[in-house]
Amino acid sequence: MDWIGGASALITADFMGEEAPEFRVERVTLESKDGLRNAIDIGDKTYVIGRSDDNPKSSITIRVLDKLTQTWVVPTALGVPPTPTNSRSEILVNNDKILIIEKGVPLNDSIWFLEVGTPFVKQQSKIKGTEVVAWSKGVIGEGQKPVVISGPSGVGKGTLIAKLMKEYPSKFGFSVSHTTRAPREKEIDGVHYHFTERSKIEEEISEGKFLEFAHVHGNVYGTSIEAVESVTDEGKRCILDIDVQGARSVRASSLEAIFIFVCPPSFEELEKRLRARGTETEEQIQKRLRNARAELDQSNSPGLFDHLLVNDDLETCYENLKKLLSLDDDHEDSNDSFIKDGKATACYSILSKTNSEILLQSETNEAEKGTTNLLSLDLSSVSGGAPGRTRGLKISSVN
Ligand SMILES: Nc1nc2c(ncn2[C@@H]2O[C@H](COP(=O)(O)OP(=O)(O)O)[C@@H](O)[C@H]2O)c(=O)[nH]1
Ligand SMILES: Nc1ncnc2c1ncn2[C@@H]1O[C@H](COP(=O)(O)OP(=O)(O)O)[C@@H](O)[C@H]1O
């Protein structure tokens, strides 16, 4: 490695070489030929965040020095990392994650967390038997809670969701699941489902890319974290069409959602709809009907579903669904102006930290753009985190 700049700490050797560097301060900045590497000490470990020298366009690299054994490890990094910029600043929060502010990108894209010791990271580390870190993008404000819709095959979930998306294309977005089942005649890959191989989805599940997955009617179905988060990133409310096992997993996850179960008016009517749809073989219909009984039984599980909707007359059911959703719609987000303004490129660096408030100082003259030079980032009510986004960041101007 070829360092051209001095660092504020003692750096004694090539960090992947035999002789280990010696860091004497909590935070150091190491300047290499083509950008910055930053190091943060957490307990007995030093995390070095940088970019590959050989390929500046490559993604961010992370190395961990175990100070007790003086060995370097490249951890398994889960989740989607930020696009590397030439400059960033970072600080340790809660002793289990590093807040990273990337510079030269829109404010909405600049706040990231590298989780190094959160319960999720510890659990993944145990499963994988390796050092694990996980990326989670920070989101200003809460966004609207995703909506999980479950119910037996043929009850009309897809029909209701399609109506909602048609009436409110800019308000709702569909979480496109992955499945190993074969596409039906009119289904489009990437629109209705991501149709995939069993080995591929199993590999991606083991890499921590899925919020939930389940074996349903003999196939694997799963919701990738990106499927949900890409909808929310667009400012839309995400709709998930998943089975009861999936709903249970989401309930147990860090994603806060509203859970709706759609019931048929009768079992006979369900069978009639399933047959009339004409998309399954008789054997598949029988399997779906058997599973429907179990799903209907589970719809009453305490604490699982927030609302039950009976889909008898389609229009009535759709109106009831809209009523349920609008009930949750009328919250005002006090961060709204920042969420909108956050599309402009920003260059903030971390100035100081007190409890859960972090001060961000602009490196360009934001005042000229009508925004402010000093921002307060409040982390006191964040929720979520890896494997999804970290929500609930509050930003305000400091006058
Ligand atoms: N757990 C889980 N279930 C899913 C997912 N995507 C779809 N499902 C459920 O899988 C079941 C079968 O879906 P599909 O094959 O499209 O048949 P349909 O419900 O009869 O239209 C339904 O209960 C869906 O809600 C997913 O990502 N995760
Ligand atoms: N309220 C309803 N009354 C009569 N038929 C319905 C109603 N809702 C949906 N259907 C029909 O039932 C079939 C199954 O609906 P679908 O939306 O595919 O169910 P799901 O997605 O829950 O498996 C479709 O042919 C659809 O047109």
**Is the distance from CB of 44 to CB of 64 less than 8 angstroms?**
no
75 lines ligand 1 (CB under 6 A): no
pLDDT of residue 212: 95
Burial grade of 102 (CB within 10 A; 0-12, 13-18, 19 or more): buried
156 lines ligand 2 (CB under 6 A): yes
User: What is the CA(155)–ligand 2 centre distance, in A?
Assistant: 5
**Is the distance from CB of 8 to CB of 30 less than 8 angstroms?**
no
Which amino acid is residue 76, in one-letter code? T
Query: Which ligand neighbours the alpha carbon of 217 most closely?
Result: 1
User: What is the CA(233)–ligand 2 centre distance, in A?
Assistant: 30
Burial grade of 34 (CB within 10 A; 0-12, 13-18, 19 or more): middle
311 lines ligand 2 (CB under 6 A): yes
- Give the closest residue (by CA) to ligand 1 atom 7: 242
- Give the closest residue (by CA) to ligand 2 atom 25: 277
Q: What is the pLDDT of residues 237-275, one digit of tens each?
A: 999 999 999 999 999 987 889 999 999 999 999 999 999
Q: What is the dihedral of CA 392, 60, 366, 236, to 10 degrees?
A: -40
Return the percent helix, strand and coil in the chain, to nearest 5.
25, 35, 40
Domains annotated for the chain, with CATH where assigned, are 3-142+336-397 (no CATH), 147-324 (3.40.50.300)
The torsion angles phi and psi of 161, rounded to 5 degrees, stand at: -65, -40
Is pLDDT at 6 greater than 50 in this prediction?
no
Q: What is the dihedral of CA 195, 200, 202, 205, to 10 degrees?
A: -80
User: What is the CA(266)–ligand 2 centre distance, in A?
Assistant: 13
Run of H or E residues at 105: strand 105-106
Max CA separation in the chain (angstroms):
76
Burial grade of 364 (CB within 10 A; 0-12, 13-18, 19 or more): middle
pTM: 0.75
273 lines ligand 2 (CB under 6 A): yes
Q: The tokens of 382 are what?
A: 């964040």
**CA–CA gap between residue 41 and residue 21 (Å, rounded):** 12
Question: Which of the listed residues 244, 273, 311 should we mutate to test ligand 2's pocket, taking the one with most ligand atoms within 8 A of CB?
Answer: 273
Is pLDDT at 328 greater than 80 in this prediction?
no
In eight-state DSSP terms, residue 82 is P
**CA–CA gap between residue 117 and residue 123 (Å, rounded):** 10
273 catalytically annotated: no
**Residue 223, SS3 per DSSP:** strand
308 lines ligand 2 (CB under 6 A): no
27-32 β-sheet, strand order:
27-32, 35-42, 45-51, 60-66, 71-73
Give the helix ranges, DSSP H, for the chain.
107-110, 119-128, 157-167, 198-206, 225-233, 244-252, 267-277, 282-298, 314-327, 336-341
158 lines ligand 2 (CB under 6 A): yes
- Give the closest residue (by CA) to ligand 2 atom 9: 156
Ligand 1 atom having least distance to the Cα of 152:
23
174 lines ligand 1 (CB under 6 A): no
Q: What is the pLDDT of residues 108-155, one digit of tens each?
A: 889 999 999 999 999 999 988 999 999 999 999 877 889 999 999 999
288 catalytically annotated: yes
Which amino acid is residue 153, in one-letter code? S
**CA–CA gap between residue 90 and residue 386 (Å, rounded):** 18
**CA–CA gap between residue 77 and residue 64 (Å, rounded):** 11
The arithmetic mean of pLDDT across residues 12-25, rounded, is 36
Given the residues 37, 237, 288, 389, select the one marked as catalytic. 288
Query: Which ligand neighbours the alpha carbon of 275 most closely?
Result: 2
User: What is the CA(26)–ligand 1 centre distance, in A?
Assistant: 49
Ligand 1 atom having least distance to the Cα of 178:
27
Q: What is the pLDDT of residues 191-222, one digit of tens each?
A: 999 999 999 999 999 888 899 999 999 999 99
Query: Whose CA is closest to 9, among 33, 25, 21?
Result: 25
**Is the distance from CB of 148 to CB of 259 less than 8 angstroms?**
yes
Query: Which ligand neighbours the alpha carbon of 149 most closely?
Result: 1
User: What is the CA(165)–ligand 1 centre distance, in A?
Assistant: 18
ipTM of the complex: 0.98
153 lines ligand 2 (CB under 6 A): yes
- Give the closest residue (by CA) to ligand 1 atom 14: 153
Query: Which ligand neighbours the alpha carbon of 318 most closely?
Result: 2
DSSP β-bridge partners for residue 71: 66
Query: Whose CA is closest to 152, among 217, 213, 215, 210?
Result: 217
Is pLDDT at 17 greater than 50 in this prediction?
no
The arithmetic mean of pLDDT across residues 353-368, rounded, is 78
**CA–CA gap between residue 113 and residue 139 (Å, rounded):** 10
290 catalytically annotated: no
Ligand 1 atom having least distance to the Cα of 245:
1
Is pLDDT at 1 greater than 90 in this prediction?
no
Which amino acid is residue 259, in one-letter code? F
**CA–CA gap between residue 285 and residue 271 (Å, rounded):** 8
Is pLDDT at 9 greater than 90 in this prediction?
no
